Structures are given as structure tokens and as C-alpha cells.
């Protein structure tokens, strides 16, 4: 018999992934690390929510997660979302499980 924790973790991780070219998603039970390629219109599914890179400007990264925009300082954190890396080619963010509510 499959245990409830295994079923829940499988369902949770099934809601994570990239939508085509331009994103890479790596999820655990606690967080998803999303890499967005800059200059590409791409989105990712993070714990069942759509995540998109909106803008990188003046050291601030704006992402839209589930219809809510969050602006995070580069190498900083806001509303649980953190920015791990910003380069000319990519933006890497970390989204906690708690973002799904």
C-alpha cells in the first residue's frame, strides 16, 4: 500500500515544470528553483501556479506567480521568493512551497 505522504509528495511535484523553451525547474518538497532565460517569453509551473519573469531593472527582479507580482532585490528575498542569481543570460529564483497557500 502506498502511504499518504508519498501520494501527497507525488501530487505536489507533479505541479512543477517548465512550459517549453526558456525555463528550467528543479523542485523538492520545500521549494522550486526556477531558471528563466532572459529575452525569452517563457513560464513555468511552480506548485501548480504559473510563474513568469516580468522584468529585471535597477537591481530588482519582478516575477508573476499565480497572478501576483512580486518584486525582489537581486540576491535578496521578498514574500518568501528569493533571487539566487541574475546574469545577462538568466535569472534564477527560489519559490517556497508556502507560496501555494
Summarised one tens digit per residue, pLDDT across range 35-82 is 999 988 889 999 889 999 999 999 999 999 999 999 999 999 999 999
Mean of all residue pLDDT scores within the chain: 84
Q: What is the pLDDT of residue 15?
A: 52
For residue 76 the three cell numbers come to 535578496
Residue 66 CB partners (closer than 8 Å, separation 6+) = 49, 50, 51, 99, 100
pTM of this prediction exceeds 0.85: no
Q: Where are the domains of the chain?
A: 4-100
Count CB neighbours of 49 within 10 A: 19
Q: What is the pLDDT of residue 18?
A: 60
71 bridge partner residues: 62
Mean pLDDT of 79-87: 96
Amino acid at each position: 500500500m502506498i502511504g499518504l505522504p508519498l501520494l501527497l509528495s507525488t501530487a505536489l511535484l507533479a505541479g512543477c515544470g517548465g512550459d517549453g523553451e526558456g525555463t528550467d525547474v528543479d523542485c523538492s518538497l520545500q521549494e522550486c528553483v526556477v531558471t528563466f532565460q532572459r529575452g525569452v517569453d517563457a513560464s513555468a509551473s511552480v506548485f501548480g501556479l504559473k510563474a513568469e519573469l516580468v522584468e529585471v531593472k535597477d537591481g530588482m527582479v519582478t516575477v508573476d506567480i499565480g497572478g501576483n507580482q512580486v518584486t525582489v532585490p537581486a540576491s535578496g528575498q521578498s514574500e518568501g521568493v528569493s533571487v539566487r542569481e541574475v546574469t545577462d543570460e538568466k535569472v534564477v529564483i527560489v519559490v517556497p512551497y508556502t507560496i501555494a497557500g
